[in-house]
Amino acid sequence: MKIFEIQTQKVLALTKISLANYVINPYIGCQYGCLYCYAKYLKRSVKQSETRGWGEFVNVKINAVEVLKKELEKLNISAAENKPVVMLGSITEVYQPLEKKYKLTEQILKILIDFQIPTVILTRSNLILRDIELLKKLPKVSVFFTITSNNSLISQHFENQSPDYNTRLETIKKLRENNINVWAHIGPIIPYFTDTLVLIKDLKNIVSKIEFEALNTTTAPYNIVVEKLKNIDINKAVKFMKLYQSSETFNEYWHTEKNNIIFALKNTDIKTHFSFPQLNEYF
């Protein structure tokens, strides 16, 4: 793992993401290096990923805190009647292991508290528990917490540096015990390998919303995915391959998956959002 300390001229970036007005990414790259991560295809990451390998480098914006404070002062956020929402971690993990050393996310939260800015955090890391008392001081905060699979082999092959399933589940529970609003992001859902109903059972009493995202074989290259799935369960891997060779089977799978999820949550108050493939006229 190569760590580079860099200077940045800009921290606060406008975003088209519906959850926020601005995003902050104190790091470029990520120690977790998940196979399916879309961030490795972004322009700022591509060149470095090609030479260093995704998950093999992190650029640390060591002056991010000072720059952010100046940006917020210039925007005169404190005087605004309708405070903008800021998202932490749109293209990096703000609580990756390096955060223990650099504490950029911790310091950024303190600034957001000073300016009383509503905040959304995207993470999959239990390190967020370190900052519970800070989260409580924000005027409003929501945590989007990613859950991929309760199958340890899936984690091993697709995101082997990330916290395991039970650790993530316990982290969500502790956040909720401290009255932090948590939304679960289940994804990527890998056909025949991800048991969404088991995940729903574990999550439905501790989150207020669940987002479901299908595997994107563009950001997670199909051929590499297939080879890894063969190492886990060859029979299911064969079914997976057939799924992507038949539009009828493909559509039927995701149609059934969505209906099963809706049925599993029908007697709850949990909000849902689906990022599933567009189904053709077969349905």
Q: State pLDDT tens for residues 23-37.
A: 999 999 999 988 888
pTM: 0.90
Question: Could you tell me the CATH number of the domain that includes residue 25?
Answer: 3.20.20.70
Domain that holds residue 158: 2-221
Considering the domain boundaries, does residue 283 fall inside one? no
pLDDT in tens, 94-152: 999 999 999 999 999 999 999 999 999 999 999 999 999 999 999 999 999 999 999 99
Q: Is 245 helix (H, G, I), strand (E, B) or coil?
A: coil
Average pLDDT over residues 190-203: 96
- Half-sphere CA count of 46, side-chain side, radius 13 A: 4
> Among 10, 134, 5, which residue's Cα sits nearest to residue 70?
10
Q: Which of 5-14, 79-88, 152-161 is modeled with the greatest confidence?
A: 5-14
DSSP alpha helices (H): ranges in 9-62?
43-52
Considering the domain boundaries, does residue 173 fall inside one? yes
Helices (H) and strands (E) in the chain, counts: 11, 11
Considering the domain boundaries, does residue 36 fall inside one? yes
**Residue 220 confidence (pLDDT):** 81
Determine how β-strand 57-61 pairs with β-strand 27-29. Answer: antiparallel
Considering the domain boundaries, does residue 236 fall inside one? no
The structural domain count of the chain equals: 1
> Among 35, 22, 37, 92, which residue's Cα sits nearest to residue 60?
92
Considering the domain boundaries, does residue 273 fall inside one? no
Which H or E run contains 103? none
- What contacts 211, CB < 8 A, 6 or more positions away? 144, 183, 184, 185, 186, 187, 272, 273, 274, 275
| Main-chain dihedrals φ then ψ at residue 240, nearest 5 degrees | -60, -45
**Residue 51 confidence (pLDDT):** 55
